Amino acid sequence: MKKSLFILILCLLTFVGCQHKKSDLTEPKTSIQLIDSVWSFGQIQSSSHAISFTFQVKNTGQAPLVLRDLTTTCGCVKLKSYTHSPIPPNGLGYISVKFDPKKSAKGFVNKKVEIHSNAFNFVEATVTGYVE
């Protein structure tokens, strides 16, 4: 009897201990859209100066959009700046990047900018062109 009671109490404590408030685990989710997801800079000489482009980001959800972690797949594409404050529903934000042909291999370029946020969908921006 004591053993059964002990097991029952242990199970209840385990169950109660594993319960989390939904608000503790998640924040409001939203959705994100890139207005233009590809920047094609055309042809550029490898000795040219760095060039910049700004991607527009739209919050297509019902909760504020927060851009968190933006990464690039190459040292030739650098993040210049982006919208740090929450983007309201239907609002626009930006992600500004620069491409430095001096840090790129010659030939066709196809690099990604990964955009991590509180959106349920994942988007990437693409930087393409040709370095001579």
Mean pLDDT within 84-104: 97
Residue 69 tokens read as 């972690």
Task: Give residue 29's pLDDT.
Answer: 84
Q: Render pLDDT for 108-123 as a digit per residue (tens, 0 to 9).
A: 999 999 999 999 999 9
Mean pLDDT within 46-59: 97
> Structure pTM?
0.77
Residue partners of 16: CB distance under 8 A and separation at least 6: none
Mean pLDDT within 62-78: 94
Task: Give residue 55's pLDDT.
Answer: 98
At 11, is the pLDDT very low, low, confident or very high (cuts 50, 70, 90)? low
Is the pLDDT confidence value at 9 over 70?
A: no
